[in-house]
Amino acid sequence: MNEKLQAIGNIGIVPVIKLENPANAAALGKSLLEGGLPVAEVTFRTASAAESIRILRREFPSLLVGAGTIITMAQAEAAVEAGAQFAVTPGFNKKIVEFFLMQGMVVVPGVNSPTQVEMGLELGLDVLKFFPAEASGGIKMLKSLYGPYSDVKFMPTGGVEASNLGAYLALPNVVACGGSWMVKDELIKAGRFAEIATACREAVELARASRVK
């Protein structure tokens, strides 16, 4: 497994972040690190994503910064130019996945079926995003996928919360979970970064406890 993915696996959680104002990026990055969560997936659901990634990379060298919700080649190119260290896509667009691989960049494309898992295997990928996790069968589906694809690891995202994080992380084929409950949009907009740091700390402790069992 790639060292960046291994680092994500050691943490167990990837905060999925929506930043509408890049002016909030630095404060958010500080909150993540204070909460013991040195990774960020900045989604391209806003026009501020690329600039936010640039700020996070510049201000926090110890923060592993990724680009999420990449659905177009223009976004993929912007993510690379901004300095993203990994990319996450909601679906499996072969052209986009191959673009990131050609850049030597870690990419975690979204899948929710055996056919899509095999598309990933064909390109040499062994870590895939399982999305939307809960709507696609959740833990039951991941258990089913483990039989034929025991060497593949998944990053469930979509419906993962503090209440079910432990159950997901207990699965042998889950490397980490993506979620936004610790970095809620309303908290970012309101500048409540101390609360975000606390929520991150609680999420990290929950993930650690889940892995210890």
Q: Is the pLDDT of residue 112 over 80?
A: yes
Catalytic residue of the set 18, 51, 129, 153: 129
Mean pLDDT of the region 82-104: 98
Q: Which domains, ranges and CATH numbers included, belong to the chain?
A: 3-212 (3.20.20.70)
Average pLDDT, integer, range 43-52: 98
Average pLDDT of 21-26?
Answer: 98
Mean predicted confidence (pLDDT) in 25-43: 98
Q: Could you give the CA distance from residue 179 to residue 8 in angstroms, rounded to a whole number?
A: 13
What's the N-to-C CA distance of the chain in angstroms? 23
Choosing from 18, 41, 51, 153, which is the catalytic residue?
41
> Does residue 174 surpass a pLDDT of 90?
yes
In b/e form, how buried is each residue of 59-94, taking b as 16+ CB within 10 angstroms? ebeebbbbbbbbeeeebbebbbebebbbbbbbebbe
How far apart, in whole angstroms, are the C-alpha atoms of residue 124 and residue 127? 9
User: Is residue 129 among the annotated active site residues?
Assistant: yes
* pLDDT, mean of residues 42-64: 98
Q: What pLDDT is recorded for position 212?
A: 63
Mean pLDDT of 15-20: 97
Model pLDDT, residue 142: 98
- Burial of residue 140 (CB within 10 Å: 0-12, 13-18, 19+) is exposed
Q: Is 41 a catalytic residue?
A: yes
Q: Tokens for 150, please give them.
A: 């025991």
Global pTM value: 0.96
